Structure 1
Amino acid sequence: MDCEMNSSHAHAVEISPLCYDFINGSCPKFVYPLLLKVPLYLFFSSVVILTVLGNLFVILTIVHFKQLHMPTNYLVLSLAVTDLLLGGFVMPPSMLRSVETCWYLGPLFCKIHSSVDITLSTASIINLCFISIDRYYAVCQPLLYHSKITPLVTVIMISICWTVSAIVGFGIIFLELNILGIEKFYYENVECEGGCVLFSFHCSFHCSQ
């Protein structure tokens, strides 16, 4: 009987690998078969390369050609820089985490990665909002466009975009505002070695259902 229990326990360990085998509180790990892992890496890598090269081309084009130096294109340039950073900094570690199902880059870099992810995602949204405002004046009020959307106004828009995004991104993670009021639940039920999850009250509500 004891032999059967030990063998079943060993079998359970084999089918439930951990991110760190010799660390208490390690996250469970799902191991993709090699035939699936290789195509996943190829697909995600191609997305990263296309994202970086596409936005780099937009940046170089706007910077190089002086006839493109206008308020609208400055906003497009800001958006391209945002997406370039997303593709170059955020997406590769996310790819590694998605395929390996574990985070091997340490807790500090996890916080930095999550902060930059939120910052750039927020900046992308705000940039699109400012671009829509710019296009509204250009299409609906063309006579007022040049008096309303000046280079100074564009610089202010871009400054607001990046400042607000950085405050939101780094403030939420490093001040732990995303787990405010649910710290006990997070540290007892969610946090584990080898994990890097952007957790929030909304997530905890649905996880508990």
Structure 2
Amino acid sequence: MVVSIFQNVSLGNTSLCYDHPNSCQKLSYPLAFKIVFYLITGNLLVIVSIAHFKQLHTPTNHLILSLAMCDFLLGIFVMPLSTVRSVHGCWYLEDLMCKLHTGMDIMLSTASIFHLMCVSTERFCAVCSPLTYRSRVRSATVLCMVSASWVISTVFAYTMVFSELNFKGAEAFYNSNVRCVGGCHVFFSRGSAVVTSMVSFFIPGLIMFGIYSRIYVVARGQARSIDFLTNQLRTASNRPGEFRYRTRKGTMTLAVVVGVFLICWTPFFLCNIIDPFIDFTIPPSLIDALVWFGYLNSALNPFIYAFLYPWFRKALRIIVSGEVFRRNSCRIQLYS
């Protein structure tokens, strides 16, 4: 018989969420979890930069804009309630709000990796098929990719939560060992853990790994010819070389973004898919910490852009200095 780590223990000095015999216990976690919420506002600067400056209205940046929106919504609607739940171990809202919160959490995490997969595809076209890139990747193409990322992730997440497919096959265990008054537990049975982890992380992650591996091989093979072409054309015009340089630099930057995403979320999804098969013996505190490590990714992206994208640093200076409010500031050239 499995002794669940979720089982409440009655202690004289135990603090409960509610005055109820089956109430969840209040927990005490370090307040450092809240730091991530304050860092998430960096995504607002990415959104304002790309939306305001016309020079940044490119297919790649439109995908980055939508990705930043995912991270921003995560910080506004998901992380504050997750902070309360992590610090106190209690849920003070109704069950409906718990489902809405859980659904949005899954939706935004899934949408983020779908966006990164779209970015990988766009970069593949830019690097591996530069002559047909403009005909393949248009505004309508990007709009379809962004719409599909949002719609698919929304339908998948809320169908899973509201139909309670995440409990299927483990209802008895959940009701006897996990469910309690004042709790909002993100619980997955064996089947739902496999499906959710594969759809939301592992399959898109493997696709992105394959795409960027191919991009690396192609880019490495093109490097010498690109440098030779740049040297030949430099006396006439610097634009071809600069365009090639920006393409390679943008691809490497987005590869770093994808790599950081995979590093931040891989530990959680590994635990998520393993835990049901080892009778839920992974401590909830560890899983909760891994979730916050995944949330950290949303705060890191703006710093990656600031460190690797000169145009973002220039846009940031314009926004902070207030120059963004000047007339025709949207036409400022952030790169030549």
Q: How far apart, in 1, do the equivalents of 2:83 and 2:15 lie? A: 20
Which deviates more from structure 2 when the two are superposed, residues 153-162 or residues 179-188? 179-188
Q: Indicate the residue corresponding to 1:3 in structure 2.
A: none
Deviation, structure 1 residue 25: 1.7
Q: Indicate the residue corresponding to 1:181 in structure 2.
A: 169
Deviation, structure 1 residue 15: 3.6
Q: Indicate the residue corresponding to 1:126 in structure 2.
A: 114
Q: Are residue 26 (structure 1) and residue 23 (structure 2) matched?
A: yes
Q: Indicate the residue corresponding to 1:76 in structure 2.
A: 64
* Aligned structure 1 segments of 4 or more residues deviating by more than 3 angstroms: 202-205
Mapping of 1:146-157 within 5 angstroms?
146-157=134-145
Q: How far apart, in 1, do the equivalents of 2:117 and 2:56 lie? A: 21
Q: Indicate the residue corresponding to 2:90 in structure 1.
A: 102
Q: How far apart, in 2, do the equivalents of 1:14 and 1:87 lie? A: 37
Q: Indicate the residue corresponding to 1:13 in structure 2.
A: 11
- Give the direction of change, closer, same or farther, for the CA distance of 1:171–1:85 in structure 2 (3 Å limit): same
Q: Indicate the residue corresponding to 2:278 in structure 1.
A: 206
Structure 2 unaligned spans of 5+ = 1-9, 191-274, 282-336
Q: How far apart, in 1, do the equivalents of 2:24 and 2:77 lie? A: 24
- Give the direction of change, closer, same or farther, for the CA distance of 1:208–1:160 in structure 2 (3 Å limit): closer
What do you get for the CA RMSD once the two structures are aligned? 1.7
Q: Indicate the residue corresponding to 1:117 in structure 2.
A: 105
Q: Indicate the residue corresponding to 1:140 in structure 2.
A: 128
Deviation, structure 1 residue 208: 5.1
Q: What whole-Å deviation, never above 9, does each CA across 1:95-141 have from its counterpart, x for those lacking one?
A: 11111121222221111100000000000000000001111111121
| Structure 2 letter corresponding to 1:14 | G
| TM-score, length-scaled by structure 1 | 0.84
Q: How far apart, in 2, do the equivalents of 1:206 and 1:200 lie? A: 13
Q: How far apart, in 2, do the equivalents of 1:186 and 1:205 lie? A: 14
Structure 1 unaligned spans of 5+ = 1-11
Q: How far apart, in 2, do the equivalents of 1:208 and 1:161 lie? A: 31
Q: Are residue 66 (structure 1) and residue 54 (structure 2) matched?
A: yes
Q: How far apart, in 1, do the equivalents of 2:104 and 2:175 lie? A: 23
Q: What whole-Å deviation, never above 9, does each CA across 1:71-92 have from its counterpart, x for those lacking one?
A: 1111111100000001111111
- Give the direction of change, closer, same or farther, for the CA distance of 1:114–1:74 in structure 2 (3 Å limit): same
Q: How far apart, in 2, do the equivalents of 1:208 and 1:66 lie? A: 51
Q: How far apart, in 2, do the equivalents of 1:94 and 1:156 lie? A: 31
Which deviates more from structure 2 when the two are superposed, residues 73-82 or residues 194-203? 194-203
Which deviates more from structure 2 when the two are superposed, residues 199-208 or residues 173-182? 199-208
- Which of 36, 39, 57 is the aligned partner of 1:50? 39
Deviation, structure 1 residue 67: 1.1
Q: How far apart, in 2, do the equivalents of 1:78 and 1:208 lie? A: 35
Structure 2 counterpart SS, 1:137: helix
Q: How far apart, in 2, do the equivalents of 1:24 and 1:184 lie? A: 19
Contact 2:78 2:105 in 1 (8 A): yes
Deviation, structure 1 residue 195: 1.1
Q: How far apart, in 2, do the equivalents of 1:208 and 1:149 lie? A: 45
- Give the direction of change, closer, same or farther, for the CA distance of 1:101–1:125 in structure 2 (3 Å limit): same
Q: How far apart, in 1, do the equivalents of 2:51 and 2:166 lie? A: 38
